[in-house]
């Protein structure tokens, strides 16, 4: 067994890497251009949900188990027939060149080294093929923003994802239009209009065929037209199912009735998420929405979780409430901004190590036994 006290000593020697999320965040603020940092950092509206996401975790408390031999911890999970070493995924975050010139390429390499699935966004700075090329062995999923403007474009991206070895499609449904983001409006910051999110579009035959000309302005306008999809309905799921053999997950479910509908539409997995408080402000904390969704799904499909996870204990709480895996968002993005590939790796490595210690102290040696921990809404 790895000596955890020694590990903790070793970690304390690595001074270039901050410990706490807040310190990474502060360093990212010092590193990134002001408007770019504000875009990533803030939530929508008055940021009620953004803050609630984190404070809600503190209301849940674990009741751990003792005397259960935790000398070996197995955190591996199975999802859609594949085994992954940890219960973590990297959430889709678009336009990663805003953080670092290497953008998603750096993130993909870090993810590959840790066997963590990287969910690549529709609005990535690099194309999904380029990202797959730099990390061929790393598990990769593709996050789709539906295009009502041109459904064939959506299908084309899904087909490209299949060809490039992506293992699942994540359809994000809470972003039919951008949230009410006051900070970005004030600073007039729009990374899509600045061209940070065009990687996938510039290599898409359907997108290119539909362009009137190849002037930068036309390209960016067309991306903006394609990204909004207020007409999205469950019918898109039915259409998508016909076009791909890959598992389809829906990201952004909070209501248990929507979870039931997802079962009716034969969706393969759900991601409980409020988009990190960036979309509809005033909504329930993601962790508080999780139990009802888990109940509605009744074990029929895996339920994944994101929004507000900052430390190992947050992840363990979500897992104890029934999430199968947890997506990390802003923490890895700040790692990318501060130290590129190494930063993403360090953030994730420490999170994994911390989660291991948390599970051990909770009496859980096998992640599949995590439901043995009791969890109560305490305060």
Ligand X SMILES: O=C(O)C(=O)c1ccccc1
Ligand Y SMILES: Cc1cc2nc3c(=O)[nH]c(=O)nc-3n(C[C@H](O)[C@H](O)[C@H](O)COP(=O)(O)O)c2cc1C
Per CB under 6 A, residues contacting ligand X are 94, 123, 175, 192, 197, 227, 275, 278
Evaluated on CA atoms 94, 98, 101, 107, the torsion sign reads: negative
Q: Does 272 bind ligand Y (CB under 6 A)?
A: no
Phi-psi region of 43 (alpha: psi -120 to 50; beta: other; left: phi over 0): beta
Shortest Cβ distance from residue 306 to ligand Y (Å)?
4
Spatial separation of the C-alpha atoms in residues 187 and 194, rounded to whole Å: 13
Instruction: Between 275 and 310, name the residue whose CB sits nearer to ligand X.
Output: 275
Q: Which of 52, 251, 317, 324 binds ligand Y (CB under 6 A)?
A: 251
Q: Which of 344, 287, 288 is nearest to 104 (CA)?
A: 344
Spatial separation of the C-alpha atoms in residues 343 and 106, rounded to whole Å: 9
Partner whose footprint covers residue 227, from ligand X, ligand Y, none (CB < 5 to 8 Å by kind): ligand X
Q: Does 304 bind ligand Y (CB under 6 A)?
A: no
* Total residues found in the chain within this entry: 379
Shortest Cβ distance from residue 189 to ligand X (Å)?
11
Q: Does 308 bind ligand Y (CB under 6 A)?
A: yes
- Tokens representing 38 are 């504000």
Residues 131-170 that bind ligand Y (CB under 6 A): 143
Evaluated on CA atoms 178, 183, 186, 191, the torsion sign reads: negative
CA distances from 8 to 4, 14, 173, 315 (A): 6, 10, 40, 19
Binding residue per annotation — 273?
yes
Shortest Cβ distance from residue 97 to ligand Y (Å)?
12
The site string for ligand Y over 27-66 (x = CB under 6 A, - otherwise) reads -------------x--------------------------
- Report how far apart the first and last C-alpha atoms of the chain are (Å, whole number): 36
Spatial separation of the C-alpha atoms in residues 172 and 270, rounded to whole Å: 10
Spatial separation of the C-alpha atoms in residues 43 and 179, rounded to whole Å: 9
Spatial separation of the C-alpha atoms in residues 45 and 179, rounded to whole Å: 8
Q: Does 276 bind ligand Y (CB under 6 A)?
A: yes
Partner whose footprint covers residue 273, from ligand Y, ligand X, none (CB < 5 to 8 Å by kind): ligand Y
Shortest Cβ distance from residue 348 to ligand Y (Å)?
13
Instruction: Between 312 and 329, name the residue whose CB sits nearer to ligand Y.
Output: 329
In this structure, are residues 49 and 274 in contact, taking their beta carbons and an 8 Å threshold? yes
Binding residue per annotation — 248?
no
Contacts of 95 (CB under 8 A, 6+ apart): 103, 121, 123, 124, 125, 191, 192, 196, 197
Q: Any catalytic annotation for residue 78?
A: no
Contacts of 6 (CB under 8 A, 6+ apart): none
- Tokens representing 102 are 């290497």
Instruction: Between 226 and 362, name the residue whose CB sits nearer to ligand X.
Output: 226
Q: Does 324 bind ligand Y (CB under 6 A)?
A: no
Shortest Cβ distance from residue 123 to ligand X (Å)?
5
Instruction: Between 73 and 114, name the residue whose CB sits nearer to ligand Y.
Output: 114
Q: Which of 153, 96, 142 is nearest to 120 (CA)?
A: 142
Q: Does 373 bind ligand Y (CB under 6 A)?
A: no
Partner whose footprint covers residue 89, from ligand Y, ligand X, none (CB < 5 to 8 Å by kind): none
Spatial separation of the C-alpha atoms in residues 195 and 95, rounded to whole Å: 9
Q: Which of 44, 75, 91, 336 binds ligand Y (CB under 6 A)?
A: 91
Binding residue per annotation — 309?
yes
Catalytically annotated residues: 275
Annotated binding site: 39, 92-94, 121, 143, 145, 172, 181, 251, 273, 275, 278, 306-310, 329-330
Q: Which residues of the shown chain bind ligand Y in the complex (CB under 6 A)? A: 40, 91-94, 121, 123, 143, 172, 251, 273, 275-276, 278, 306-309, 329-330
């Amino acid at each position: 067994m790895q000596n955890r006290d020694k590990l903790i000593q070793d970690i304390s020697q690595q001074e270039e890497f901050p410990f706490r999320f807040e310190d990474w965040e502060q360093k990212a603020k010092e590193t990134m251009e002001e408007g770019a940092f504000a875009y990533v950092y803030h939530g929508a509206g008055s940021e009620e949900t953004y803050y609630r996401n984190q404070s809600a975790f503190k209301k849940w408390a674990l009741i751990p188990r003792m005397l259960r031999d935790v000398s070996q911890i197995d955190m591996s999970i199975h999802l859609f027939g594949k085994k992954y070493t940890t219960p973590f995924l990297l959430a889709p975050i678009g336009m990663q060149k805003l953080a670092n010139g290497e953008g998603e390429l750096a993130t993909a390499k870090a993810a590959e080294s840790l066997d963590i699935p990287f969910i690549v966004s529709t609005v990535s700075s690099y194309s999904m093929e380029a990202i797959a090329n730099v990390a061929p062995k790393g598990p990769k999923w593709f996050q789709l923003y539906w295009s009502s403007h041109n459904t064939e474009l959506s299908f084309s991206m899904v087909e490209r994802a299949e060809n490039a070895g992506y293992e699942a499609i994540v359809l994000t449904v809470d972003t039919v239009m951008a949230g009410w983001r006051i900070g970005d409006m004030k600073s007039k910051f729009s990374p899509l209009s600045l061209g940070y999110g065009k990687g996938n579009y510039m290599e898409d035959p359907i997108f290119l065929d539909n362009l009137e000309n190849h002037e930068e302005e036309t390209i960016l306008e067309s991306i903006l037209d394609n990204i909004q999809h207020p007409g999205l309905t469950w019918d898109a799921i039915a259409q998508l199912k016909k076009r791909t053999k890959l598992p389809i997950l829906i990201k952004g479910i909070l209501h248990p009735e929507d979870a039931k509908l997802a079962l009716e539409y034969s969706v393969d997995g759900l991601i409980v998420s409020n988009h990190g408080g960036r979309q509809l402000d005033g909504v329930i904390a993601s962790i508080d929405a999780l139990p009802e969704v888990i109940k509605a799904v009744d074990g029929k499909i895996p339920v994944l979780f994101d929004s507000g996870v900052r430390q190992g204990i947050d992840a363990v709480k979500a897992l104890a409430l029934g999430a199968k895996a947890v997506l990390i968002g802003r923490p890895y993005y700040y790692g990318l901004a501060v130290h590129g590939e190494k930063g993403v790796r360090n953030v994730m490595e420490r999170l994994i190590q911390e989660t291991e210690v948390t599970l051990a102290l909770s009496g859980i040696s096998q992640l599949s036994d995590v439901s043995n921990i009791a969890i109560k809404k305490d305060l």
